[in-house]
Amino acid sequence: LNNVATDRLSVIFAALADPTRRAILARLSEGEATVSELAEPFEISLPAVSRHLKVLERAGLISRSRSAQWRSSRLEAEPLREATAWMERYRAFWDQSLDRLDEHLKRMQQREAGTGPTSSSTDPERNLP
Amino acid sequence: MSQMLHLERVFDAPRDLVWRAFTDPDEFAAWFGPVGYSVPRESVSFDLRLGGRQSFTMVPDDPSNPPGGESSGTIDELVEGSLLVTHEDLPEEMAKVFGTSRITMRIELRDTGDGKTLFVLDQGPYADDFVGNAREGWGSSFTKLDTLLASRVAG
């Protein structure tokens, strides 16, 4: 990861870390909504919702329409994809490592059984010509 | 403990062998790392006791690829042959990305009863709150977002 990508992701992750903001995103995944529509399920004020929306907007997770009176927000999928892709890499890291472990365990077993090409590790003299 | 990364895998090998693959530096260096990376044996240093350090470096096979970096965990729990819990404190810039300054890795090995070994990995938290509590009070509205960002990473 270069620094620009890291900074960008940290903003996205910070925005996603808050449960209210995630709930707002979840609501927006069903379609555009106004501030008051978004505030409805929560016991928080409209200004508080607006603050959350600002954080989400800054992270690029949502975009907001220009109309001042009925500003509606919509979900932007790309940063989310970016964040999940990044986390996927971590999972892939382990999946690939464990595939290699699987192979290595076979070699270890062969070695223990004395049938593998590296059986000499327990007895350095044995496989010498 | 709610963690972001949870992996399980069954290995067709006895438990002590899998344990050795994780804790013996020679064995560990022979397999650890994703495709395209390897762990030089001389970079591996395991001090297998409570409070001991477990460190190693991953290097790319192709030098033009990004460095894999050094990893250094401190052992918090240790049950020979079955449980290894380590933590690693992250540098500030990584801490921001992960949403936490400390990552814990828990590896548990269990006999499956037929000579195989169940490997269970829990690693995180990566902004624990980020995937956590998906089922607490979110109702169905979370489902779509869950698909987007949590289902695959939370296992």
Tokens at residue B9, please?
């895998």
Residue B127 sits at φ, ψ, to 5 deg, of: 45, 65
Q: A105 CA to chain B: closest CA distance, Å?
A: 7
Whether residue A106 is predicted with pLDDT greater than 80 in this model: the reply is yes
pLDDT at B99: 61
- Coil, strand or helix at A42: coil
The answer to whether ipTM exceeds 0.85 is no
Residue B142 sits at φ, ψ, to 5 deg, of: -75, -25
| Cβ-contact A56, B120 below 8 angstroms | no
- Its pTM stands at 0.59
pLDDT at A89: 66
Peptide bond preceding B125 in cis form (omega within 30 of 0): yes
Whether residue A47 is predicted with pLDDT greater than 50 in this model: the reply is yes
Nearest to A26 among B32, B35, B142 (CB): B142
Whether residue A45 is predicted with pLDDT greater than 50 in this model: the reply is yes
Phi-psi region of B113 (alpha: psi -120 to 50; beta: other; left: phi over 0): left
Residues 6+ apart with CB under 8 A from B24: B46
**Least confident among A17-31, A54-68, A72-86, B42-56:** A72-86
Interior CA angle at B82 toward B81 and B84, to 5°?
Answer: 100
CA distance B95 to A5: 14
pLDDT at B132: 37
Q: A25 CA to chain B: closest CA distance, Å?
A: 7
How far from the centroid of its chain's Cα atoms is residue A66's Cα? 30
Q: In which residue are the tokens 């939370």 written?
A: B154
- Coil, strand or helix at A68: coil
Question: Best mutation site among B27, B92, B149 for testing chain A: the one with the most A CBs within 10 Å?
Answer: B149
Nearest to B121 among A27, A94, A105 (CB): A94
CA distance A69 to B108: 56
CA distance B4 to B128: 6
| Cβ-contact B18, B11 below 8 angstroms | yes
pLDDT at B94: 60
pLDDT at A1: 41
Taking residues A81-85, report their average pLDDT. Answer: 69
- Coil, strand or helix at B27: helix
Which residues of chain A neighbour B152 with C-beta distances below 8 Å?
Answer: 84, 88, 91
pLDDT means over runs of 10, chain B (155 residues): 68 94 94 87 96 91 75 94 91 61 89 93 63 32 35 35
| Cβ-contact B126, B5 below 8 angstroms | yes
Question: Quick one: CA dihedral B136, B139, B141, B147, positive or negative?
Answer: positive
β-strand partners of B87: B74, B104
Nearest to A17 among B66, B130, B153 (CB): B130
Q: In which residue are the tokens 């918090």 written?
A: B76
Between A77-113 and B142-149, two packed helices, what is the crossing angle to 10 degrees?
A: 50
Q: Cα(first)–Cα(last) distance of chain A, in Å?
A: 49
